[in-house]
Amino acid sequence: MTIHNLYIFDRGGSCLFYSEWHRRRPPGIPQEEEFKLMFGMLFSLRSFVAKMSPTDMRDGFVSFHTSRYRLHYLETPTGLRLVLNTDLGVANAREALQHIYSNLFVELVVKNPQCPPRAPVQSLLFRQRLDAFVRSLPYFGPRNP
Amino acid sequence: MADEALFLLLHSEMVAGLYRAAEQGEGENGRCTTKLESMGFRVGQGLIERFTKDTARFKDELDIMKFICKDFWTTVFKKQIDNLRTNHQGIYVLQDNKFRLLTQMSAGKQYLEHAPKYLAFTCGLIRGGLSNLGIKSIVTAEVSSMPACKYLKYSIISPL
């Protein structure tokens, strides 16, 4: 059970924050490209889910999984998108993402006068607290062999 | 205070707005700090009037400083001053180890050079409060490591 990495995108598609803990495979493409790819995929998936949903939509797109990892997604009313990649042992990371948003991002980035809105997050305090929080999660374990 | 977040965000925007205006128009950095401090001064005068309307007269300057450290700070920032030192000759040092307006910014050295901007208003607040209680003073602040900060208050000695 482990957590791979976290992305935070704003409404326009720029990546505000990225952090990784256990990434096994290097992406093979430059980071800029990777962010654009991720955002584009999320955008398409969201609108696909909205259009093709057979029942009434409640939360919209929440997560997808492959045979190796699961991607969890949270979108806030202000258009901020949080993406967390974990391994398959984690069924639902919505609360963790919600906590990261309301208790860490809002407190330490939105309320920080030195962090202008929609700009990449430079605050070290945010990075430290996020790291501590993620490491304290019950499903953050050592690397699986 | 009605809502902490409200004051925090308003204060951040005040500082940012003043500095933006200074960049576009006239003025150097020093004037912005002075403007912020005078704003705080006027607000402090009004606030202290409101907070002390039911309390008894203060015995002496030390008593006034203790009031500032406990009741005034609690009402404005929801906590007390952590340490008050004096030389009994008019100089007081108030130390707050987790200053409310700085806790969100950093916990160490990042953004240290920007910290004084956010302390100017509070310096004025203290000075205004003291002036309305009858003490003329100069208040300065310093930050060595976020979010702890120290306020120094010097009395202006006037002949009685």
Q: Of B91, B151, B84, whose CA–CA distance to B116 is shortest?
A: B151
Structure tokens at A81: 């998108």
Scanning chain A, the segments in alpha helix (DSSP H) are 31-52, 94-99, 124-136
Concatenated DSSP letters for A2-14? -EEEEEEE-TTS-
A111 contacts B9? CB cut-off 8 A: yes
Q: Using CA of residue A87, residue A92, residue A98, residue A103, what is the dihedral sign?
A: negative
User: For B5, which residue in chain A has the nearest alpha carbon?
Assistant: A111
Q: Going from the N-terminus, what domains does chain B have, and what CATH number goes with each?
A: 4-154 (3.30.1380.20)
Asked if A121 has any chain B CB less than 8 Å from its own CB, the reply is no
Element (H, E) at A19: strand A15-20
The complex's ipTM works out to: 0.74
Asked if A107 has any chain B CB less than 8 Å from its own CB, the reply is yes
Q: Could you say which residues from 63 to 82 on chain A have a Cβ atom under 8 Å away from some Cβ of chain B?
A: none
Q: Of A91, A96, A120, A50, whose CA–CA distance to A83 is shortest?
A: A96
Q: What does pTM read for this prediction?
A: 0.81
Pairing of strands B83-86, B91-96: antiparallel
Cis preceding linkage at B147, omega within 30: yes
**pLDDT (tens place) for every residue of chain A, 145 residues total:** 688 999 999 988 899 999 998 888 888 889 899 999 999 999 999 999 988 888 887 888 889 999 989 999 999 999 899 999 998 888 888 989 999 999 999 988 888 888 888 889 888 889 999 999 999 988 887 654 4
**pLDDT (tens place) for every residue of chain B, 160 residues total:** 457 888 888 888 888 888 888 777 655 667 888 888 999 999 999 989 888 887 888 888 888 888 888 888 888 888 888 888 888 888 889 888 888 888 888 877 888 888 888 888 999 999 999 998 888 888 988 888 888 888 888 876 554 4
Identify the contact set of chain B against chain A, taking CB-CB distances under 8 A: 5, 8-9, 11-13, 15-16, 104-108, 110-111, 114, 118
Asked if A143 has any chain B CB less than 8 Å from its own CB, the reply is no
Pick the CATH number of A3-136 from 3.40.50.12780, 3.30.70.100, 3.30.450.70, 3.40.190.10: 3.30.450.70
Helix (H, G, I), strand (E, B) or coil at A118: coil
B108 contacts A114? CB cut-off 8 A: no
| Residue extents of the structural domains in chain A | 3-136
By CB atoms closer than 10 A (0-12, 13-18, 19+), residue B89 is exposed
